[in-house]
């Protein structure tokens, strides 16, 4: 059996490693993703009034804050016996629009700042295959990313009242 390890996994938010075990024929027998840090956010939520959850959990992550907010809101809805079809149609649509605005913001960040360096500078070294080199070599690409993120955050602000962070 062969064990392959990729550590660290780069271009992600956080720290992780991947372990792949191959059988004697070279086929994948088992794959594991190891998340390296304990987060423990549920601990500081214990004992809090349920109505506070949707205000607290978005601060867990600066990238997917809206998704944390909406997950908490849906959890509270379910605690009180409601699902997506029981809330007001306008409220449901507002949640969806906020979610799409957040997708714009987070996907622009992920694509342009985490993935693009590998795509735009595939033969670069570790020192040159990064967002700073993309900004230097292709400032119009960086500006495009910033504009997409800004538009997504503006949607979140207009629907949600303010950006979460």
For the chain, what are the domain ranges? 1-37, 38-160
Instruction: Inform me whether the pLDDT recorded for 17 exceeds 80.
Output: yes
**Alpha helices, DSSP H, located in the chain:** 41-45, 53-56, 65-79, 89-108, 116-120, 131-137, 139-160
Q: pLDDT tier at 3 (50, 70, 90 boundaries)? A: very high
Q: In terms of C-beta distances under 8 Å and separation of at least 24 residues, what long-range contacts does 16-20 make, across chains too?
A: none
Task: Return all residues near 49 (Cβ < 8 A) that are at least 6 apart.
Answer: none
Instruction: Inform me whether the pLDDT recorded for 154 exceeds 80.
Output: yes
- Taking only the tens place, the pLDDT of each residue in 63-112 is 788 999 999 999 999 999 998 888 899 999 999 999 999 999 999 988 98
Identify which of 68, 151, 138 has the alpha carbon closest to the alpha carbon of residue 105. 151
In terms of pTM, does the model score above 0.85? no
Q: pLDDT tier at 42 (50, 70, 90 boundaries)? A: confident
Which residue in the block uniquely carries the two structure tokens 């020192």?
127
């Amino acid at each position: 059996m062969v064990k392959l390890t990729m550590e660290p996994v780069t271009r992600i938010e956080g720290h992780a490693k991947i372990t792949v075990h191959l059988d004697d024929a070279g086929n994948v027998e088992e794959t594991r993703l190891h998340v390296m840090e304990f987060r423990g956010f549920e601990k500081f939520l214990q004992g809090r009034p349920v109505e506070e959850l949707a205000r607290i959990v978005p601060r867990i992550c600066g990238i997917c804050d809206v998704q944390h907010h909406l997950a908490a809101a849906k959890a509270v809805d379910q605690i009180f016996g409601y699902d997506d079809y029981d809330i007001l149609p306008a409220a449901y649509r507002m949640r969806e629009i906020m979610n799409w605005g957040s997708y714009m913001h987070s996907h622009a960040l992920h694509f342009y700042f985490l993935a693009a360096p590998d795509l735009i500078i595939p033969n670069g070294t570790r020192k040159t295959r990064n967002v700073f080199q993309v900004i230097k070599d292709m400032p119009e690409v960086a500006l495009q990313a910033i504009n997409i993120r800004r538009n997504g955050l503006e949607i979140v602000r207009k629907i949600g009242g303010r950006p979460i962070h």
